[in-house]
Amino acid sequence: MPWCPVCKNEYKEGVTVCADCGAELVASLKERKEVLLCSGEEALILRMQKFMEYNDIPVVFEQEDGEACLYVLPKHERKAKQAAHVFLAESATEAENRLESALDSSDIWDEAESASDEKASNHERALHQADSADGEEAEEDAEGVLNGGSSSDDENQENDLRVSNGGVYRKKSERADDLRSSGEVLLVFGILGCIAMILIDLGILPIQFGNRIMMNVIMFALFLFFIGFGVYSLKDARKSRAEASDEDKLTERIHTWVKEHLTAELVDEASGLEEADADEIRFFKRTEVIKKKIAAEFQETEEAYLDDLAETVYQELFE
């Protein structure tokens, strides 16, 4: 019987997608298709799980070798890593606000700061340091817990949470231009190569080979491959150009709808912004609202396309 790896629900034979979260079903729960998002102290991981679920990001919480872990499906990984950054920033800001409200003088501040440094070295940068260290230390320590690392591995942990370049959206028109350019170069190179080999065989070009028959077979095969692949790239470019035309029309429709229905004030009202929110948190909350509103009006749009479009709309509304 198929199972949902996220919700842990069992389905009847023939069902391939979970009705609750949309995850692809697996034959056994032992088959893991999710990727590790973060691991560390249970209290922090549980808080992050609630934060992810609040932002409609399905995650799986598990205990492995005495360590708490969060898993996420590959299609949600980019969004989950962005949310993780926001969670860490908010945790650091919250810790700093609590600390400032508890201090009565600069002497107490110095004493608390010294105590937090000593506590950090004794407890290996665990989650409870966020309640005693200053805001900058709290964020570093929280990031250190992610993926099982310590604060001395800050650079590696930051790389783990950074969105990969593969998640950046490329417009179909740009892809069509690249395919056309590649196809033209391969086609010209292949044709010129074949002509050069014919001229060599006719003795017009004074170039000698040790084994002419083998060299002809190898070089003609190579140049014919270039020609074939060039023709294929040009055909693919024409297909992508047609898709790019449809995408450009959709983008124009969306921008027209945004101008008529979305304003900076409306987005801020729906985002639930707070005065203490940092700029990156405001950006994340605003773009999430923009994406949800566009997705509700224009269904079946790609996630990466929505991300790119939301950033463009954000610049038009707030910059």
CB 102 within 8 A of CB 111: no
Classify residue 73: in a domain, yes or no. yes
Higher-confidence residue of 89 and 164: namely: 89
| CB proximity list for 281: less than 8 A, separation 6 or greater | 86, 89, 90
Torsion of CA 280, 286, 292, 297, to 10 degrees: -140
Q: Among residues 133, 165, 197, which one ends one of the domains?
A: 165
Q: What does the pLDDT read at residue 103?
A: 53
This model's pTM is above 0.85? no
Residues 156 and 176 grouped into a single domain: no
Asked whether the beta carbons of 120 and 133 are under 8 A apart, the reply is yes
Give the residue, 191 or 24, on which the prediction is more confident. 191
Least confident stretch, 118-122, 161-165, 196-200, 251-255: 161-165
Q: What are the φ and ψ backbone dihedral angles of 63, each rounded to 5 degrees? A: -105, 125
pLDDT tens readout for residues 124-149: 444 444 444 444 444 444 444 444 44
Residue 213 lies in a domain: yes
Q: Is the pLDDT score of 225 beyond 90?
A: yes
Closest Cα partner for 133 from 143, 122, 119?
A: 119
Distance, in Å, from the CA atom of 90 to the CA atom of 96, rounded to the nearest integer, reads 10
- 303 and 273 in a single domain? The answer is yes
Tell me the percentage of the chain whose pLDDT exceeds 90: 11
Q: Which of 136, 165, 194 is the last residue of a domain?
A: 165
Structure tokens at 103: 């201090």
Domain that holds residue 118: 35-165
19 in any annotated domain: no
**In DSSP terms, which residues pair with 35 in a beta bridge?**
72
pLDDT classification of 38: cutoffs 50, 70, 90: confident
Instruction: Give the sheet arrangement for strand 35-40, strand by strand.
Output: 35-40, 67-72, 59-64
Q: What gap in Å lies between CA 205 and CA 198, rounded to an integer?
A: 9
**Would the pLDDT of 26 be above 60?**
yes
Question: CA–CA separation, 154 vs 150, rounded Å?
Answer: 7
Q: Quick one: 313 and 189 in the same domain?
A: yes
Query: Is the domain of 201 the same as that of 306?
Result: yes
Cβ(237)–Cβ(183) under 8 Å?
yes
The verdict on residue 235 lying in a domain is yes
Same domain, 156 and 177: no
pLDDT band at residue 44 using 50, 70 and 90 as cut-offs: confident
Structural domain includes residue 264: yes
pLDDT at residue 28, rounded to an integer? 66
CB-side neighbour CA atoms (13 Å) of 142: 29
3-state secondary structure of 81: helix
What's the confidence (pLDDT) of residue 139? 45
- Note whether residue 83 is domain-resident: yes
Total domain count for the chain?
2
Interior/surface letters 165-179, b for 16+ CB within 10 angstroms, e for the rest: eeeeeeebbebbeeb
Q: Are residues 70 and 191 in the same domain?
A: no
What's residue 97's pLDDT? 63
* 181 plus 312 within the same structural domain: yes
205 and 161 inside one domain: no
In DSSP notation, 58-76 reads -EEEEEETTEEEEEE-GGG
Indicate the residue among 124, 142, 165 that finishes a domain.
165
pLDDT of residue 150: 41
Q: Are residues 151 and 192 in the same domain?
A: no
* Mean confidence (pLDDT) of the chain: 75
Residue 188 — pLDDT band, cuts 50, 70, 90? very high
In this structure, are 60 and 153 located in the same domain?
yes
Domain co-membership, 139 together with 218: no
For residue 295 the two structure tokens come to 């997705």
> What is the pLDDT at residue 107?
45
Q: Report pLDDT digits (tens) over 163-187.
A: 333 345 677 888 888 889 999 999 9
11 lies in some domain: no
Q: Tell me, letter by letter, the H, E, C secondary structure of 196-240.
A: HHHHHHCCCCCCCCCCHHHHHHHHHHHHHHHHHHHHHHHHHHHHH
Tell me if 196 is assigned to some domain: yes
- Give the pairing type, strands 59-64 and 35-40: unpaired
pLDDT of 96 above 90: no
pLDDT of amino acid 190: 93
**23 vs 262, more confident:** 262
